[in-house]
Amino acid sequence: MKTQLEQTEKELEYLSLLHEQIRMASAKDLDEIKEELAEQGYLKEKPGRREKSGKQAAPAPEQFLASDGTPILVGKNNKQNEYLTMRLARKEEVWLHAKNVPGSHVVIRSSEPSEETLLEAAHLAAYYSKARNSGNVDVDYTKVKYVRKPNGAKPGFVIYDHQKTVRVTPDTDLVAKMRKASRTQG
């Protein structure tokens, strides 16, 4: 009975995360979420859909630029989160996530980011989380090498240690500024 309750709680946590991701998703993000739901058995795939598309493209986390020019990547759904954290990020880069709430994985493409870049990345983690509308959001950060996926865990679910925590208030204007900086550079 206890095991079944634990499984149900994990399932609810996973579905809550998906709900939040759908709420903030772009059209491209929704396609990846739909694929994930099919892979997890929540949706039936149309026959032949995978064969037609051939090899699936790698998920594409969104890129932002910190004020000092450091790239910051944000996974906006479970497929992007998992790809970003488990495959794309280097072990010494800095990983962030809003503490104890569903949200995006954020990676600073630096092993020693400035304090300002760290806080800007924390704003992204807070903004792309369920706590987006909160006044103060705790954001954990650690090196990517301390983030791991438990065996059998759902996509995007990780555990981590060696973390530190910063508190920020999500700032829509700062997020827009970092997004714009990334687009004007590219």
- Count of domains forming the chain: 1
Any bridge partners for residue 137, and if so which?
A: 168
Of the listed ranges 26-30, 83-87, 99-103, 105-109, the one predicted with least confidence: 26-30
pLDDT of residue 54: 57
pTM: predicted TM-score of the whole model, two decimal places: 0.80
- The HSE-up count of residue 111 (CA atoms within 13 Å, CB side) is 4
User: Where are the extended beta strands (E) located within the chain?
Assistant: 62-65, 71-74, 94-98, 106-108, 137-143, 147-148, 159-160, 164-168
The per-residue pLDDT of the chain, averaged, comes to: 88
Structure tokens given for 58: 């790698």
Cα separation, 128 vs 99, in Å, equals 12
Boundaries of domain holding 22: 1-186
Q: How does pLDDT run across 92-110, given as a tens digit for each residue?
A: 999 999 999 989 999 999 9
DSSP 103: B
